[in-house]
Amino acid sequence: MTNKAAEVLEARLQLPEDERSDVAARLIESLDTTGDQDIEAAWSAEIQKRIEELRQGKVKPLSWAEARRIIVA
């Protein structure tokens, strides 16, 4: 790691957790420049399907606490 990169990292580590998360996500996104269009389209379709299932009442949303309880069990 260069000195400049180390300085940037050190400065960003001082940010609050939510801001560090945003910075990390943006950095990761910047690495994926190829972007598979088929995958993007599939995720978009899946998201739309799930939203529609929620709207139609076919599925019920869970709170994060409930989902976590199920995952950990």
pLDDT of residue 39: 86
Residue 12 near residue 20 (C-beta atoms within 8 A): yes
- 0.85 cut: is pTM over it? no
CA–CA dist 53, 69 (Å, integer)? 23
**In Å, what is the CA distance from 7 to each residue of 3, 4, 28, 48, 58?**
6, 5, 19, 42, 50
pLDDT tens digits along 23-70? 999 998 888 766 677 888 899 999 999 999 999 999 999 999 999 999
pLDDT of residue 32: 72
